[in-house]
Copies of this chain bind each other. A is one copy, B any other.
Amino acid sequence: MDQFPPTRRTQLKRLPKRGVYDKAAVHAILDEGLICHGVFTIDGQTYVIPTGYVRVDDSLYIHGSPASRMLGALSQAIDVCVAVTLLDGLVLARSAFHHSMNYRSVVVLGKARLVSDPVEKRNALHAFVDHVAQGRWDEARQPTQNELDGTSVLALPLDEVSAKVRTGPPIDDEEDYGLPIWAGVVPLRTEPGEPIADPRLAPGLQPFDTARLIRG
């Protein structure tokens, strides 16, 4: 299997059995998530900012306004840390102490790069929109040059990456298994509701099909 080599910074110190470095597993987590938390430090102050993202091949892309503090800072090749976390379930143990959560999380460390190549930039934005809904880029009104200029795209290479995963039932103390307390996992999933059409929707359009969502 193709693996991310663990580094001093990504090697799990505790609960090493939860560590995942397999590239396909990491990519699957990144492709299922919609929001990352980007972390960076400017002038000694650390910021954490939730934002959308998309993975293309071996890069993670984020975008935003060229005027944003985050984009401006990150394009200076400063160290950045990006986390994506999917909450998969609540783990109800018989003992209060052993309650837990099932989750899959990825942390990417590295330095971001401002994407200047227009083809790479457009491909990233295309992937960004299609990450939310399959085929959406092609049906949307295409970006103008002004809009492209008004969007900064940053790429973070997927080099120094680790994932942590917990799955399965609670792990109780042996003597607690006989207790008359319900125990198990309540799975959690992000589910779409009924699409809410824009109040100014043009007439005669088909409703949006939520089967097109990556998590639909």
Contacts and interface: CB of A to CB of B under 8 A. Distances in A.
Contact of A69 (B14, B103, B204, B205): B14
Interface in A34-71: 34-35, 37, 39-41, 45-50, 52, 65, 67-69
Contact of A87 (B142, B190, B199, B202): B190
A204 B176 contact: no
A13 interface: yes
Contact of A181 (B67, B141, B186): B141
The listed residue with most B CB atoms (<10 A of its CB), out of A34, A45, A200, A206, is: A200
B187 A202 contact: no
B37 A37 contact: yes
Contacts of A45: 9
Stoichiometry, copies per complex? 2
A121 interface: no
A132 interface: yes
Interface of A: 9, 13-14, 34-35, 37, 39-41, 45-50, 52, 65, 67-69, 79, 81-83, 85, 87, 90, 92-97, 99, 101, 103, 105, 107, 125, 128-129, 132-133, 136-137, 139-144, 147, 150-151, 169-170, 172, 176-202, 204-208, 210, 213, 215
